[in-house]
Amino acid sequence: MSKNLNAVITGVGMYVPETVLDNKYFESIIETNDEWIVSRTGIKERRKLENGATSDLATGAIKDLFASTGVKPEEIDCIIVCTVTPDMLFPATACLVQNNVGAVNAWGFDLSAACSGFLFGFQVGASLIESGTYKKVVVIGADKMSSIVDYTDRNTCILFGDAAAAVLLEPTEDKSIGLKDSILRVDGSGREALNMRGGGSYMPPSHETVDNKLHYIYQDGKAVFKVAVVGMADTSYEIMKKNNLAPEDVKYLVPHQANLRIIDATANRMGIGREKVMINIDKYGNTTAATIPLCLVEYYRAGKIKKGDNLVLAAFGAGFTWGASWYTWGID
Ligand code: COA
């Protein structure tokens, strides 16, 4: 279907908490070592929010966006917070962020798609813009993973960090820029491999759920690794093929930062080298919905992305959820 409008990112913002947990810290609390963590995951350190909740991370990111663009809170039409660590089951974190920043004309909602959250939120936000209904939509990826990490489980605790990053989407009639295409998928048969079972309507909180550690992330790392490699690599390759993008047409792969080996496998399948892959997993670990926008903010602010650059965004997460998007950068 041809569109009259494309959705383009016109501003970005990010927030990472100050506390750094490096691999040495984990050597002091669990049986692990820096060499294992770096070689198996690529992670050297991650951030932890000591006080506050996901809405505080998200608020930090949107405030940074406002400060760097000059856009005012009252101009925002809609706020989408992509997260699996909402402050509460309800109200939505988006409502709390709206109130924190005084976005008095906005509506909003939370979107739950785990590590694919930003990719899914980006498509939803872009659709609101492309329809012509809204002019300024903010999509935020925000997760306080430290709130659901079991710091005695060495299989998962070394992987995750806290962060938030935001993009502002606006309409453009220039079809050469903006979100061009997405391939998005879910497969709920993956529920057993990666989940947090306690606390919802399936297993409401009880002494038993607490005793059985069901309010923490559970991950069968090996099983997830196998499907993540295939899911991310396949959809990234598919989006290139579908849109006749050759490896040389792609400026950057912007992958979800879960594991450097999954990222490398995706780049290999796309036929591109490491120099064309956005990577910051070493500094932040897996920040779930925040990884992709965090990469975009850092690379943009470092002057590494220019107008007209083709990006392939790719993610895989709990659900399972996964996908890839073709986005052409639209601002200098
Ligand atoms: N330090 C040292 N050893 C550790 C460890 C740690 N932090 N965590 C696990 N190990 C051990 C395991 O106990 C296992 O020991 P064993 O062979 O004696 O049982 C050994 O290391 C190998 O474990 P394995 O699970 O095969 O490691 P791996 O190479 O698969 O790496 C992950 C583990 C979690 C890093 C990897 O599976 C992964 O990244 N999975 C996917 C994560 C992901 O993409 N999630 C999706 C989105 S969130």
In this predicted model, what pLDDT tens digit does every residue of 122-140 receive, in sequence order? Answer: 999 999 999 999 999 999 9
Residue corresponding to tokens 């992958």: 255
Distance between CA 49 and CA 66 in Å, rounded? 22
Task: Please state, in angstroms and as integers, the Cα–Cα distance from residue 152 to each residue in 205, 219, 281, following that order.
Answer: 21, 14, 22
Would you tell me how many other CB atoms lie within 10 Å of the CB of residue 15? 26
**Atom 12 of ligand 1, nearest CA residue:** 155
The predicted-structure confidence for 253-294, as pLDDT tens digits, reads as follows: 999 999 999 999 999 999 999 999 999 999 999 999 999 999
pTM higher than 0.85: yes
Based on the domain organization, do 258 and 287 belong to the same domain? yes
Is residue 61 included in any domain, yes or no? yes
Parallel, antiparallel, or unpaired for β 310-317 and 252-255? parallel
Given 175, 196, 225, which residue is the final one in a domain? 175
The pLDDT value recorded for residue 2 is 72
What distance in angstroms lies between residue 135's CA and the mean position of ligand 1's atoms?
A: 44
Give the residue numbers spanning the domain of 274.
179-328
On whether residue 1 sits in a domain, the answer given is no
Residue owning the nearest CA to atom 48 of ligand 1 = 317
- The string of pLDDT tens digits covering residues 216-256 is 999 999 999 999 999 999 999 999 999 999 999 999 999 99
Reported as a single tens digit per residue, the pLDDT across 76-114 is 999 999 999 999 999 999 999 999 999 999 999 999 999
Quote the CA–CA distance of 14 and 20 in Å, as a whole number. Answer: 16
Catalytic residue among 82, 256, 259, 295: 256
Distance 220 CA to ligand 1 centre (A): 9
Residues 206 and 297 in one domain: yes
Which of 8, 312, 5 is CA-nearest to residue 179? 8
Tell me whether residue 207 is one of the annotated catalytic residues.
no
Residue 154 lies in a domain: yes
pLDDT at position 84 is: 98
Residue 234 Cα, ligand 1 centroid: separation in angstroms?
Answer: 23
Cα dihedral 144, 212, 191, 158 in deg (nearest 10)? 40
Question: What digits encode the pLDDT tens for the residues 22-54?
Answer: 999 999 999 999 999 999 999 999 999 999 999
**Sign of torsion, CA 255 256 260 262?**
negative
pLDDT at 253: 98
The pLDDT, as a whole number, for residue 328 is 98
Same domain, 70 and 89: yes
In a domain, 202, yes or no: yes
In the chain, the number of structural domains is 2
- Pick from 216, 81, 76: nearest CA to 160: 216
Active-site residue flag, 78: no
Nearest CA to ligand 1 atom 29: 40
Residue 142 is assigned to a structural domain of this protein: yes
Same domain, 189 and 314: yes
- pLDDT tens-digit profile of 129-172? 999 999 999 999 999 999 999 999 999 999 999 999 999 999 99
pLDDT of residue 3: 85
Q: Are residues 136 and 186 in the same domain?
A: no
Query: Cα(152) to centroid of ligand 1, in Å?
Result: 14
Q: Residue 1 pLDDT more than 80?
A: no
Same-domain status, 168 and 202: no
Of 117, 151, 175, which residue sits at a domain end?
Answer: 175
Question: Is 256 an annotated catalytic residue?
Answer: yes
Hey, what are 218's tokens? 């559970």
Measured from CB, residues less than 6 Å from any atom of ligand 1 are 32, 36-37, 40-41, 115, 154-155, 158, 221-222, 224-225, 228, 258-259, 262, 286, 316-317
Q: CB of 146 within 8 A of CB of 22? A: no
C-alpha span between 7 and 169 (Å, rounded): 6
Same-domain pairing of 162 and 13:
yes
Residue 242 lies in a domain: yes
Q: How far is the CA of 159 from the centre of ligand 1 (A)?
A: 10
Query: Residue 140: what pLDDT?
Result: 99
Whichever domain contains 19, its CATH number is: 3.40.47.10
Q: Give the nearest ligand 1 atom to 32 CA.
A: 1
The mean pLDDT value of the chain amounts to: 97
Catalytic residue among 115, 157, 259, 295: 115
Residue-wise pLDDT tens digits, 61-85: 999 999 999 999 999 999 999 999 9
Instruction: Tell me, yes or no, whether 220 lies in a domain.
Output: yes
Atom nearest to 286 CA in ligand 1: 48
